[in-house]
Every structure is written in structure tokens, then in C-alpha cells.
Amino acid sequence: MRDADADINIKKSSNPMSPGSMHRRTWSTRTFSKLDKGSVRGSIMSLTSAAVGGGVLSLPYVFCLSGWAAGIFLLLLGCFAGIWSN
């Protein structure tokens, strides 16, 4: 019978982002560093801007079509539905 741990090669990581590493980046270094292509932070920013941007840009158009009173009512209805569903 083979040893279960023989197939697993665990090496000490030299990557500063590794959870087991002793050299962690500070909050300010992580937050204000360059936004790389394909990074997790870049993906989060892209998804957030796509989701929020479309909604914010469509609000004036909806208010123009429905009027102020109905627009505010629909906005509050959507807010209530979002809170209730979460």
C-alpha cells in the first residue's frame, strides 16, 4: 500500500501573497498598488463598475419617462424589494 502523502508535494512558498508567508503586504500597499490585468482586484472593480454604472446611468432616463412622483415611488419600491429579498 502506498503512503497517502507521497503524492502530495508541498513546498514552502516564496510568494508574498501566500497565506503561510511571513512577509505580508500592508493594507496601503495592497490598496494603492498598480491594478494589474487579470488580477482579483481588477476583476472586482470591473464587475462593480459594470453593475453600478448601468443602473446609475439609466435612472435619469427612467425619471424622464415616468415623472418625478412615479420615479421616486418606483425607486423606493425597488429599494424595498432589494432589502426584503436579501
What does the alpha-carbon distance between residue 77 and residue 82 come to, in Å, rounded to a whole number?
9
Using DSSP's 3-state secondary structure scheme, residue 3 falls into coil
Tell me the whole-structure pTM to 2 decimals.
0.44
Give the domain ranges of the chain.
4-33+53-85
pLDDT digits (tens, 9 = 90+) for 38-61: 888 888 888 988 888 888 888 889
Q: Which residues of the chain have pLDDT under 50?
A: none
20 near 12, Cβ under 8 Å? yes
The secondary structure of 21-83 as a DSSP string is -S-PPPHHHHHHS---TT-HHHHHHHHHHHHHHHHHHHHHHHHHHH-HHHHHHHHHHHHHHHH
